[in-house]
Amino acid sequence: MARMTSDRPWHELDAHDWRERITSGSATTVDGIRASLQRIDDLDDSLNAFAVVLADEALAAARTLDALPDSEHGPLHGVPIAIKEENDVAGCVTTFGTSANRTPASADSHIVALLRKAGAIIIGKTRMPEFGAWPFTESASGGITRNPVDPSRTPGGSSGGTAAAVASGMVPAGIGGDGGGSIRIPSDRCGLFGLKPQRGRVSPAPYPHLWWALGTIGPLTRTVRDSALIYDVISGSTPTDLFTTEPIGSLVGSLERGPRLRIGWSIASGTPGLHPHPDNVAAVHRISELLRSAGHTVVEYHPKHSDPTAAFVPQFFAGIRSEAQAVEDYSALEQRTRSVYRLGSWVTTAVRESAIRRGERIAGQADRMFDDVDVLLTPTVADRPRPAGVLSGAGPVRALISSRPSIAYTAVWNVTGHPAATVPAGLGTDGLPVSVQIVGPRNGEPRLISLAAEIEASV
């Protein structure tokens, strides 16, 4: 029998249990924040998850929350949350993983303000590669971030700092971003749940977009229910958002067992010459059998959509160029980033807009796929976690080639905008986490949350 919440160390608690310990009176918010800060102090020198730790601010916020009456406790009351460097936190420099910005943000981003309003405490900002360009969390200014499951390995990227912070128990949950797999890839590497939401589900404000049509913002968590809870807090749009989508209601309400689904599984990556690792294939087969035994209709399926490369690549370059143009000191960017900037000079406004329209056409093809199946099941990545230091000495071409296995199954869903989630599926033969990706139709997050919770309960 699992130990009661009150008997478990703080670093084993998810956000739900963390809040319950505080609101039940078993501990104070200050107790929890001190435990989180101690965990960071103990582990972060070796993992390098945090760029900034806001110890004094977090403790002050905890004291304020402890003084509130029960009636004013929010859904994330007292829960420490880590924030990826690309999001504004008042008083902190929004670095985007670079050393090229130096002026602190004057206000919180939209999602940070929503998290605070819900009672969350911002404990610090987590590392990312420059502009989130790579699925490895390494940079000249920030160093190498390591996987807490095996520190010799990468935690993936670009939300690798958040993944390392959550997987190591420094915090129960954190915020990442996903422009080609950057929530799902580090979730796979570190054994976490990570849902990339429908395009437009979460506002990037004060920025109008995140890598144009590719980027979304969302949490990395240890449990499906925490992800649902945080999405209920941060979902919604603002007048400055370039992309929006219709509301879907509470995801927490989708955690219960849902109807039996038509699930199509596929191990085809769509990338010529790229074959998935046997451990990742085995995970797909294992979860397929699990779902079949639970009453779902599970069949092999061959996705029918065009190659997304011509839509993804121009937006990738456009995203890097737009963020590079906004920094305070362009000369402080890494040489690799400046090379990518120059390589993308062919991406004019017309080329970028054409790529977005191409992505919408591919999205329409994917919509028709969901006439055949309710959910698509694939590997999350093609490879296994690489040794840390992948980007050391790498120019843009080598970095791009090294990235291909990581994004082979994820990037297409950034192009189309459909929701997709990484669900832990145990361990591979190497002892490292393995996962599957589940993909849903437009606005299909409730379906994915329900199915992911079912998988989570059975693995």
User: In DSSP terms, which residues pair with 181 in a beta bridge?
Assistant: none
51, two tokens: 């760029």
Task: Report DSSP state, residue 426.
Answer: E
| CB contact at 8 A, 137 and 129 | yes
Q: Is the alpha carbon torsion for 376, 377, 382, 387 positive or negative? A: positive
Task: Report DSSP state, residue 104.
Answer: B
| CB contact at 8 A, 327 and 101 | yes
| CB contact at 8 A, 414 and 184 | no
SS3 421: strand
39, two tokens: 């965990």
- In degrees rounded to 5, what are phi and psi of residue 138? -145, 140
**Distance between CA atoms of 406 and 258, rounded to whole angstroms?**
31
Is 84 considered catalytic here? yes
**Distance between CA atoms of 38 and 6, rounded to whole angstroms?**
19
| Catalytic site residue from 109, 159, 182, 450 | 182
| CB contact at 8 A, 349 and 98 | no
233, two tokens: 């807090």
| Catalytic site residue from 109, 139, 158, 254 | 158
> CA-CA-CA-CA torsion for 17, 21, 24, 26, nearest 10 degrees?
160
Is 196 considered catalytic here? no
Alpha carbon 446 to its chain's center: 17
Q: Which residues contact 320 (CB under 8 A, 6 or more apart)?
A: 131, 133, 337, 340, 341, 344
| Catalytic site residue from 84, 159, 196, 269 | 84
- Of residues 413, 400, 403, the one with CA closest to residue 448: 413
From the number of C-beta atoms within 10 Å of its C-beta (0-12, 13-18, 19+), residue 68 rates as middle
What residues are annotated to the active site? 84, 158, 182
